[in-house]
Amino acid sequence: MSDMQRFKRVLIANRGEIALRIQRACRQLGLETVAVYSEADVDSRHVREADVALCIGPAAASKSYLDREGLLLAAKVTGAGAIHPGYGFLSENADFADAVEAAGLTFVGPTGDSIRMMGDKITAKRAMRDAGVPCVPGSDGPLPASAEDVRAVALEVGFPVIVKASGGGGGRGMRVVHTVDELEDAVALTAKEAQQAFGNPTLYLEKYMQKPRHVEIQVLCDTHGTALWLGARDCSLQRRHQKVLEEAPAPGIPPETIAEIGERCVQACRQIGYRGAGTFEFLYEDGIFAFIEMNTRVQVEHPITEETTGIDIVAQQLRVAQGGMLDVRQEDILMQGHAIECRLNAEDAATFMPSPGTVTRWDLPGGPGIRVDTHVINNYTVQPYYDSLIGKIISYGATREQAIARMRVALAEMRVEGISTNIALHQDLLADPKFQDGGVDIHYLERWLAERAPS
Amino acid sequence: MSTMENQVPVFEGIPSSEDLARIADLLVQAGLETIELSDGMGARCFMRVPAPAPALVSGAQVATAAAPVEVPSSDIAVKAPYFGVLALTDLAEIGTVVRQGDVVGQMRIGTLQVPVTVPVEGTVVDVVGQEGVLTGYGAVVVRVEPAA
């Protein structure tokens, strides 16, 4: 792979901790970096340390990190041969990926076509089903006309089921049905509502997952036919669809089950010609996996998989983008130990309101099994213009108990002044007996927060 | 609260300023201080209405820029409107009298050229930008002392 270098200089089209993470991977591979930044990020650590740093616009992301034309021009004027989009911003923008390649540059990620296919829920689900990736059991299309046939479908799927309008969305035009007796009335009523609301009475039916967990599979593919799965992550602890704490592996799910799902995921990758890093997200309940979507980029929580597999995912993304071959075989990947990630946010502990400002004290934890990915340094000013993620503490242990114990020590060691953070929330969560048991569902954190609320 | 939920516009990306103003009015009417909106993809929008004072929107947590740096002199910084390789013009010389709209430099990227124009009539007192150097957005190119 050393003889084939498609690019020597990488433009990092992102900011914050992931920009620094990408820069580190580039350095390790002997690649030069271009940090493009908004006026608000002039004092960012990765900007100061980059080989080339270029301010490309004002604080507004639309005029900097989301400015496609500006980013391409910046690559041109700095002589960058590749663009790494990180996560968020333009990372899952198929048109941008196409434009990068059309400009003769390398997009560190999958092709625009792959991104497009996975960005559309219907085509994504169809592709997954074709490849044997499990999806939510359901009617696989419009419900039949006769009540008898509908009943047969529902019984096969198993109650509770959710009846949804094909034309619906945003939580409207759907009804949960718990028993077979309610089915006929529920279908008639939902069809009538769907006709009134969306002008289309077509319905479909799916298994209703009441208390699912969020379990996802990391994959890594090169352009030479190698597709690997790197184990599972459990990201069930979420608030308002934002992940708060993640762990790998997913507690209580047998490794053989994950291996089976992992194999199907990489099979899907081969079928669609996927390249680079990606994540298959599933809901998991009662032993059933149901595909939700695929993220066609590196994820915030990728470090816990790096800790349990020893594979540097960002460096591998760059290797694949160079056209290199993955030098690992599936059978060589050992998923060992347990890793936890706590996302540190600059936000009010009680209201979750963002808490921008200058960090006047920033003492990081350390010791065996502790990793901190952050762009924040002492006297750094957390900007109000972007998301409130200021870093991630990752703990690793031989067992889940050890990983939890190390994380609790790390959180207790961490000292932050000048801004509010969610460190105390993480401490309380790690002390929670249900969390310690493992395997809580995606609604658990919101329920737990509601119970803690003062009134 | 339930009545308010029905009135708040559906959150699909950052609301328009009209929607923000409407939500702020609803907050005040309901006697609430803060609201958090979120969508199915994890995007969030916070609003806080100043505690006792009614009416005005405090904005969706978009704070003002950093405090302006105090400049003792009265001259004006003429900044690069775009990034690129700076090509100075003949007007970018200390002592040159310039008029509003005069071009003191070009930001070049390949064949693309974006002019650096002077916002006021005056005299060039300093040339900060360097010829042929890759220059970022917002970098000072020249300083102009406005005509009295």
Is the pLDDT score of A121 beyond 80?
A: no
Chain B touched by A58 (CB under 8 Å): yes
Contact status of A39 with chain B (Cβ, < 8 Å): yes
Residue B34: what are its φ and ψ, rounded to 5°? -135, 155
pLDDT (0 to 100) of residue A304: 98
pLDDT at A257 over 70: yes
Mutation target to probe the A interface, by most A beta carbons within 10 A, among B69, B107, B109, B137 is B137
pLDDT tier, A137 (very low <50, low <70, confident <90, very high otherwise): confident
* Residues A248, A298: Cα–Cα separation, whole Å: 16
Q: Is the pLDDT of residue B5 over 60?
A: no
Contact predicate A220/A280, CB 8 Å: no
Indicate the pLDDT class of residue A139, thresholds 50, 70 and 90: confident
* pLDDT greater than 90 at residue B54: no
pLDDT for A8 equals 98
How near does any CA of chain A get to the CA of B84, in Å? 7
Mutate which of A55, A281, A387 to test chain B, going by most B C-beta atoms within 10 A? A55
Which residues on chain A are in Cβ contact (under 8 Å) with B10? 170
Cα A263 to Cα A261: distance, rounded to the nearest angstrom: 5
Q: How far is A358 from chain B (nearest CA, A)?
A: 11
Token output for A429: 């969560």
Dist CA A167 CA A207 (whole Å):
19
The verdict on A315 touching B (C-beta cutoff 8 Å) is: no
Nearest to A112 by CA among A125, A123, A100: A100
pLDDT surpassing 50 at residue B53? no
Q: Is A145 left (phi over 0), alpha (psi -120 to 50) or beta?
A: alpha
Is pLDDT above 90 for B15? no
Chain B contact for A132 (CB, 8 A cutoff): no
pLDDT confidence of residue A171: 63
The CATH fold of domain A147-207: Dna Ligase; domain 1 (3.30.1490)
- Give pLDDT, residue A68: 98
Which residue, chain included where needed, has tokens 């298959």?
A: A280
The two tokens of residue B119 are: 């916002």
Q: Which residues of B touch A53 (CB under 8 A)?
A: 136
Residues of chain B neighbouring A242 (CB-CB closer than 8 A): 38, 42, 44
Name the strand (E) or helix (H) holding B140: strand B140-146
User: Is A2 a residue whose pLDDT tops 70?
Assistant: no
Q: What is the pLDDT of residue A451?
A: 94
Q: How confident is the model at residue A1 (pLDDT cuts 50, 70, 90)?
A: very low
Q: Which residue of B has its CA nearest to A52?
A: B134
Q: Is residue A443 over pLDDT 50? A: yes
pLDDT given at position B64: 41
Of the partner residues B41, B65, B112, the one whose CB lies closest to the CB of residue A73: B112
| Least reliable range by pLDDT among A201-210, A302-311, B35-44, B132-141 | B35-44
Q: What is the pLDDT of residue B35?
A: 75
* In the predicted structure, residue B21 carries a pLDDT above the cut 90: no
**Residue B108 above 60 pLDDT?**
yes
Whole-angstrom distance, CA of residue A233 vs CA of residue A329: 20
The amino acid present at A404, given as its one-letter code, is: I
Counting residues of chain B whose pLDDT is more than 90, the rounded percentage is 49
Across chain B, what does the average pLDDT equal? 78
Alpha carbon of A205: minimum distance to chain B alpha carbons (Å): 20
* Kind plus residue range of the DSSP H or E element containing A148: helix A147-157
Q: Are B44 and A59 within 8 A, CB to CB?
A: no
Tell me what ipTM this predicted complex has: 0.84
Average pLDDT, chain A: 94
Examine the residue annotation and report whether A297 is marked as an active-site residue of this protein.
yes
Give the Å distances, CA to CA, from A346 to A65, A233, A356, B106.
21, 24, 6, 40
Chain B residues touching residue A174 (CB < 8 angstroms): none
How much is the average pLDDT of A242-253? Answer: 97
CB pair distance less than 8 Å for A55 and B137? yes
Q: In A296-367, at which residue ranges do the beta strands (DSSP E only) sit?
A: 338-345, 357-358, 361-363
Contact A354 B61 (CB under 8 A): yes
Q: How many CB atoms lie within 10 A of CB A39?
A: 19
**Catalytic-role residue among A116, A297, A343, A400:** A297
Write the CB contacts of A176 (distance below 8 Å, at least 6 apart in sequence): A160, A161, A162, A163, A208
- For residues A81-101, give the mean pLDDT: 97
The per-residue pLDDT for B56 is 42
User: How many helical (H) and strand (E) elements, i.e. helices and strands, does chain B have?
Assistant: 2, 10
Q: Is A170 on the interface with B (CB under 8 A)?
A: yes
Q: Do B134 and A59 touch (CB under 8 A)?
A: no
Between B22 and B2, whose confidence is greater?
B22
Question: How many pairs of residues across A and B have Cβ atoms under 8 Å apart?
Answer: 67
**Confidence grade of residue B13 (pLDDT, cut at 50, 70, 90):** low
Res B29 pLDDT > 50: yes
pLDDT of B59 reads: 38
Tell me the chain B residues in contact with residue A354 when contact means C-beta distances shorter than 8 Å. 46, 61
**pLDDT of B148:** 79
pLDDT for res B28: 72
Sorted by sequence, the CB contacts under 8 Å of residue A83 that are 6+ apart come out as A10, A11, A13, A71, A75, A100, A105, A106, A107, A108
Percent of chain A scored above 70 by pLDDT? 98
Q: Under CATH, domain A213-452 is a member of which superfamily?
A: ATP-grasp fold, B domain (3.30.470.20)
Of A54, A76, A385, the CB nearest to B136: A54
Q: What residue in B sits closest to A77 (Cα-Cα)? A: B109
Mean of pLDDT values over A389-401? 98
Q: Is the pLDDT of residue B72 over 80?
A: no
Closest C-alpha among A27, A34, A40, A43 to residue A12: A34
Q: What's the pLDDT at A327?
A: 87
B interface with A, Cβ–Cβ < 8 A, is 10, 34, 36, 38-42, 44, 46, 48, 61-63, 65-66, 83-85, 109-110, 112, 134, 136-139
pLDDT above 60 for A3: no
Using an 8 Å CB-CB cutoff, list chain B residues near A78.
134
Distances (CA, A) of A117 to A109, A123, A245, A321: 14, 6, 29, 20
Distance (Å) from the alpha carbon of B148 to chain A's nearest alpha carbon: 31
In sequence order, which residues have a C-beta less than 8 Å from that of residue A407 and are 6 or more positions away?
A340, A342, A393, A395, A426, A430
A77/B85 CB distance under 8 A: yes
Characterize the bridge pairing of strands A172-177 and A227-239. Answer: unpaired
Domain A9-103 annotated CATH 3.90.1150.10: no
Say what the pLDDT of residue A437 is. 98
Q: From CA A162, how far away is CA A149, in angstroms rounded?
A: 16
pLDDT score recorded for residue A62: 95
Which of chain B's residues have a Cβ under 8 Å away from the Cβ of A246?
none
Q: What is the largest CA-CA distance in chain B?
A: 67
pLDDT at B52: 47
- What is the rounded distance in angstroms from the CA atom of residue B70 to the CA atom of residue A120? 51
Work out the pLDDT band at B6, boundaries 50, 70, 90. Answer: low
**Structural domains of chain B, ranges and CATH numbers in brackets:** 2-48 (no CATH), 76-146 (2.40.50.100)
Q: Any idea which residue has 């059309």 for tokens?
A: A102
A241:B39 CB<8 A:
yes
Contact A356/B63, CB-based, under 8 Å? yes
* Interchain pair B42, A58: CB under 8 A: no
The whole-number pLDDT of residue A163 equals: 92
Chain A residues lying within 8 Å of B40, measured CB to CB? 170, 241
**Could you identify the residue written with the tokens 């006047």?**
A360
Residue for token digits 């994540």? Answer: A279
Q: Which residue ranges does chain A devote to CATH 3.30.1490.20?
A: 147-207
Which residues in chain A are classed under CATH 3.40.50.20? 9-103
pLDDT digits (tens, 9 = 90+) for A38-66: 999 999 999 999 999 999 999 999 999 99
